Amino acid sequence: MENRAIADIFEEVADILDIKGENPFRIRSYRNAARTIGDMPSGVAGMIGAGEDIEKIPGIGKSIDEKIREIVSTGRLRFLEELRAGLPRGLTELLRIEGLGPKKVKLFHDELGIDTIDKLETAAREGRLRELFRMGGRSEENLLGAIARYREGRGRFKLSVALDYAESIVRYLREGTGVRAVEPAGSLRRRRETVGDIDILAICGPGSDIMDRFARYDAVEAVLAHGKTRSSARLTCGLQVDVRVLERESFGAALQYFTGSKEHNIALRTRAVDRKLKLSEYGVFKGARRVAGRSEKDVYASLGLPLIPPELRENRGEIEAAAEGRLPKLVGPGDIRGDLQMHTTATDGKDTVLDMARAARELGYEYIAVTEHSKAVRVARGLDEERLARHFREIERAEAAAGGIRILKGVEVDILPDGGLDLDDAILERCDVVVASVHYRFNMPEAEMTRRIIRGIGNPRVHILGHPTGRLVLERAPYEVDMAAVVRAAADLGVILEINAHPDRLDLNDAHARLAREGGVRLAVNTDAHSRAQLELMRYGLFVARRAWCEAEDVVNTYPLSRLLAGLRR
C-alpha cells in the first residue's frame, strides 16, 4: 500500500470530521498524519512489515498508528467507512471544489439542503446563495467557474500521484513469472501534468502469471476486466490501470501507439499513408509485409524520422521538426547543477539551511539558493529586512560547514498588490538571487494583475519571477494574467521565469514555458522545496521543461556557477 493512499484516507477522515463540526484538535491530528505520511521518503507499509516502530514518528500517535496498521493489513479503515455511512455521499465531493471548505459545505447543507454538486450549481445560478449568505454575485460566479473546472478535471489525477503508482506497479509486474518486459505508456509516459488512466504494456513468455499477479496488486480495489491479453482494474485511489500483453514483434509499434497522443498518432499515420505505408499498433506495413514494429526507433525510422521523445508527442510541430532534423536536445536531470528556490526552518521549511545544503550536495549540485518568504507572508513567518540580514549570516555558516557547495543568499520577495516589493532595495541589493512572487490578492482583473507583475519584475533587483500564474494543478485556477505580456516584459528586462517543479504547482505550465522559451526568455526549474526530501521533486519541473521543448541552454540552473552569477547581474 502506497503512502499516498494511506494519506488520502486520513485526509478524508479529517474532511468528514470537519463537516460534522468535530473537535478541531482531533481533526488537525488526522491532517498532520496525512501530511507526515504523504511526505515520508520510505513506505510506511514496508516499515511496518520490517517491524519498525512508526508510533515514534512525530505526527503519528498511538491511535493513528493503530489505524495505519489496520489500513496496511486490510486495505481499508472501518472508522472511515462508518463516517462515510453517516453522511450524504455528495458532501465530501463538494469539498473538492476550489474555495469550498467544510464550514461552507456544512452551511449550504444545513440551510439549503445542498448535498450534490448539481444542487449547488442550481442554487448558485438562481442566486440563492447570494440571498442566504450575503455572498456577492461575483462569488457565485467564481463558484460556478470552480464547478466547471472541477468537472473538467474530474477523473484526472496529478502526474506525481499516477507516477508513484505506475512505477511501483511496473516494478511489481516485472517480478512476475515469465514476464520479459513491462513499460508504461499513455499520457503518463508523455509526462502530461494530469493523467486520465495508467496504460501499461508487457511482453510475456508462455505460462506467465502477469494478469493474476496484476489482479492481486495490493492497491487494486476492483478488477474491471481480466483477460489473457488485456486486463483493467481500479485502484483504491480511483485511478484506472490497463495492462496489455503484446507480441515482441509488435511491441515497439504498440508502445508508440499507446503512448499517443492521439493527435500525434493521427499525424504520423498520415505521414505513413503519404509514403504508401500503413501504421497501426501492430507495426508499419508495406502491403502485407511488416517493415517495422519491434522497437519504437524502427517505427519512426521506417517513416524517415528520428525517435521523437514522448514528451513532445502532442502534434505541436514535433513531426515537422523531426523530419527537418531540428528536434531540440531536451534538458534532462543530468544537466541540473543547482536549485534556485527553497525554504528552511527560518520560515515555513522543515529543515535547516545546513541540512538542505548537504542534501543538495548529495544530489551532486554545485549551488543552491535559499529563498525565504518575505514579511507579507505572515502564515510562513516571512522575514523582514533585519531577520533576513541575520539569516544571511546563518547561510554563511552553513556554507562553511557543508563544504563543497555554494549557498546563494536569496529571498522570495512578495510582489505587493500595487506591484511594489515587500522588502527595501538595500537588502535586495545584498541578495545573490531575488525571486519575486505573488502570494495573496489573487482575484484581480487581468489588466491589473498583469500591471502588478510587470511592475514587480521591473525592479532591477529582481532576477526570477516565481510561480508566475499561481495555479495549483486541479485545485486552483491561474490568476487572470496576460502571460504573453509578462513574457514580453521578462524578455525586455532580462528576467528569468520560473518553472516551479512542485507537482502541485507546475507553474509555468508546458504551454506557457514554451511561449517563454520562444519569446527569448530563460527559465529556472526550481523545486520550492520545504524539506530535504522535496529537493527530489526537480524531475517534475524537468518534465514540464521538456514538454516545453527546452534545451539545457534555456534553463539557467544548468549553468556552471560563474556563468549563472554573471547572467543574474542586470
Cell numbers of 358, please?
548537504
Which of Ca ion, Zn ion, ligand DGT, none does 262 bind, CB closer than 5 to 8 A by kind? ligand DGT
Q: Which residue stretch of 70-78, 234-242, 451-459, 544-552 sits at the interface with Ca ion (rule: CB under 5 A)?
A: 234-242
For the bound state, the minimum distance from the C-beta of residue 412 to Zn ion, rounded and expressed in Å, comes to 5
Among residues 184, 186, 478, 503, the one that binds Ca ion under rule CB under 5 A: 186
Q: Which residue stretch of 83-91, 128-136, 175-183, 252-260 sits at the interface with ligand DGT (rule: CB under 6 A)?
A: 252-260
> By CB under 5 A, how many residues form the interface with Zn ion?
1
Which of ligand DGT, Ca ion, Zn ion, none does 437 bind, CB closer than 5 to 8 A by kind? Zn ion
- 374: contact with Zn ion by CB under 5 A: no
Contact between 435 and 340 under an 8 Å Cβ cutoff? The reply is yes
- 549: contact with ligand DGT by CB under 6 A: no
Site string for ligand DGT, 190-229 (x = CB under 6 A): --x--xxx-x------------------------------
Contact between 106 and 88 under an 8 Å Cβ cutoff? The reply is no
Q: In what order do the strands lie in the sheet with 197-204?
A: 179-184, 197-204, 240-246, 230-235, 220-226
Q: Which residue stretch of 41-49, 186-194, 285-293, 325-333 sits at the interface with ligand DGT (rule: CB under 6 A)?
A: 186-194
Contact between 68 and 6 under an 8 Å Cβ cutoff? The reply is yes
- 265: contact with ligand DGT by CB under 6 A: yes
- For 128, residues 6+ apart whose C-beta sits below 8 A from its C-beta are 112
Using CB atoms, what's the residue nearest to Zn ion?
437
Stated as kind and residue range, the H or E segment containing 497 is strand 496-500
Contact between 37 and 7 under an 8 Å Cβ cutoff? The reply is yes
- 258: contact with ligand DGT by CB under 6 A: yes
> By CB under 6 A, how many residues form the interface with ligand DGT?
14
- For 237, residues 6+ apart whose C-beta sits below 8 A from its C-beta are 4, 5, 8, 157, 161, 165, 219
- 371: contact with Zn ion by CB under 5 A: no
- 437: contact with Zn ion by CB under 5 A: yes
| CA 503/CA 493 separation, integer angstroms | 28
- 186: contact with ligand DGT by CB under 6 A: yes
- 266: contact with ligand DGT by CB under 6 A: yes
| CA 173/CA 502 separation, integer angstroms | 29
DSSP 308: P
- For 187, residues 6+ apart whose C-beta sits below 8 A from its C-beta are 194, 195, 196, 260, 261
For the bound state, the minimum distance from the C-beta of residue 56 to Zn ion, rounded and expressed in Å, comes to 32
Binding site for Zn ion (CB under 5 A): 437
Where along the sequence are the contacts to Ca ion (CB under 5 A)?
186-187, 197, 199, 242
Q: Which residues here bind ligand DGT, judged by CB under 6 A?
A: 186-187, 192, 195-197, 199, 257-258, 260-262, 265-266
